[in-house]
Amino acid sequence: MALLELKNLHVALEDGTEIVKGVDLSVDSDQVHAVMGPNGSGKSTLAYALMGHPAYVITEGQILFDGEDVTELAADERAQRGLFLAFQYPHAIPGVTVTSFLRSALNAIRKAQNDGEDDPVKIPEFRKDMLAAMDKLKVPHELARRYVNDGFSGGEKKRVEILQMAMLKPRVAVLDETDSGLDIDALKIVASGVKELVGPEMGAVLITHYQRILNYVTPDFVHVFVDGRIVEEGGPELAQRLEAEGYEAFGVNERRNGSNS
Ligand SMILES: Nc1ncnc2c1ncn2[C@@H]1O[C@H](COP(=O)(O)OP(=O)(O)O)[C@@H](O)[C@H]1O
Ligand SMILES: [Mg+2]
C-alpha cells in the first residue's frame, strides 16, 4: 500500500454540489505526481479536501495515510502525521517574522506529536536547521527577518513556502499552484525546492493547470483531471501531449480568457 491513498474520493461543497467525483490516487515517497486540469475542474477542491478543510465535505470514499484512515481527521491531525499543503494564496502576517512564523508552525507539529504537550524546539537548534535549509534551498538569509508575505514578491512568497516545507519535513507535500501569475522565477523556486526535498523521506503532488512548471521538475506520474475525475494517467510524456494538444484532446472545451501564457 502506498503512503497516501485516495480511494473513490468524492468531495462536495457545503451546499451539496459535488465537485470531485470519484478519485483514486496513490502517492509514495520519492515520487512526484502532477495533477493537471483546466480551470474549475476541482483541483483546489481536491487539495483542500485532502488537507481537511472544513468547507469541503468528503461524501464518499476514503483517504488513507500510512495505512490509517484519516478521512475524518481534522487538518492539524493530518499535518502532524505528515501531510503538507502549500497554500495557493498565502496571506500577509504583518508583525510576524518569517523566523517566528516557521518556529510556531514547527512547534505546533511538535506539540501534536508529543501528545499535546508543548515541546518547543530549542532556539539555537532551530536557527541552525533553518539556516541549513535556507542554504540548501538558496534562500537569502535576510528573508528570515522580514514579516511574512508583507510586500513579498511572488518569488519570495514561494521561497517561504518551500522553506516551510523543508522545516516541517512532511511525508507528502501537496502544492496547489495558481492557474496564472506565477512568474518564471517563482516557478523555478518551487520546482527546485520540490526536486531538492523529494526523496526517500518525501513524495509530492503538484497540482497545476499549465505544464510550464513541469519544464523544471519532471513528474514521475501525470494525472489528467477533468470535471472532478482523473480521465487519463501516464508518465511525463502525458504532460508533453497536454502541452501540444491542450485539454481539448481530453474532451474539454476551455473558454480562453487570455491568461494562457
Ligand atoms: N468554497 C467554495 N464556494 C463555492 N464554490 C466553490 C468553492 N470552492 C470551489 N468552488 C467551485 O468548485 C468548482 C471547482 O473549483 P476549484 O476546485 O477551485 O477548481 P480548480 O482549482 O481546478 O480551478 C468551481 O466551480 C468553483 O466555483
Ligand atoms: Mg485551483
- What pLDDT is stored for residue 76 in this prediction? 83
Which ligand minimizes its atom distance to the CA of 35?
1
Question: Does 38 sit in the ligand 1 pocket, CB within 6 Å?
Answer: no
Is residue 261 situated within a structural domain? no
Sign of CA dihedral 18, 19, 21, 27: negative
Residue-number span of the structural domain to which 124 is assigned: 4-250
Question: Does 208 sit in the ligand 1 pocket, CB within 6 Å?
Answer: no
Is residue 259 situated within a structural domain? no
3 Cα–ligand 2 center, Å = 24
Is residue 134 situated within a structural domain? yes
- Pocket test of ligand 1: the residue of 17, 19, 50, 88 to mutate, having most ligand atoms within 8 Å of its CB, is 19
Is residue 257 situated within a structural domain? no
pLDDT tens string for the chain (261 positions)?
Answer: 999 999 999 999 999 999 999 999 999 999 999 999 999 999 999 999 998 999 999 999 999 999 999 999 988 889 889 998 875 455 677 788 999 989 988 998 888 888 889 999 999 999 999 999 999 888 999 999 999 878 888 888 888 889 999 999 999 999 987 655 677 888 888 899 999 999 999 999 999 988 888 889 999 999 999 999 999 999 999 999 998 999 998 888 765 544 443
Q: Which atom of ligand 1 is nearest to the CA of 55?
A: 1
Which residues make up the environment of ion ligand 2, defined by Cβ < 5 Å? 43-44
List the residue whose alpha carbon is closest to atom 9 of ligand 1: 45
Which ligand minimizes its atom distance to the CA of 42?
1
Question: Does 236 sit in the ligand 1 pocket, CB within 6 Å?
Answer: no
Cα angle, residue 117 at apex, residues 79 and 63 outer, rounded to 5°: 25
Q: What is the DSSP string of the chain?
A: --SEEEEEEEEEETTS-EEEEEEEEEE-TT-EEEEE--TTSSHHHHHHHHHT-TTEEEEEEEEEETTEE-TT--HHHHHHHTEEEE-SSPPPEEEEEHHHHHHHHHHHHHHHHTTT---PPPHHHHHHHHHHHHHHTT--GGGGGSEETTT--HHHHHHHHHHHHHHH--SEEEEE--SS---HHHHHHHHHHHHHH-BTTBEEEEEESSSGGGGTS--SEEEEEETTEEEEEESHHHHHHHHHH-GGGGT--PPP-S---
Is residue 260 situated within a structural domain? no
CATH of the domain at 238: 3.40.50.300
- Pocket test of ligand 1: the residue of 14, 15, 41, 44 to mutate, having most ligand atoms within 8 Å of its CB, is 44
Is residue 13 situated within a structural domain? yes
- What pLDDT is stored for residue 183 in this prediction? 79
Number of domains in the chain: 1
Report pTM.
Answer: 0.91
Is residue 258 situated within a structural domain? no
Question: Does 19 sit in the ligand 1 pocket, CB within 6 Å?
Answer: yes
- What pLDDT is stored for residue 258 in this prediction? 41
Is residue 65 situated within a structural domain? yes
**pLDDT, tens only, 85-137:** 875 455 677 788 999 989 988 998 888 888 889 999 999 999 999 999 999 88
CA distance 195 to 200: 12
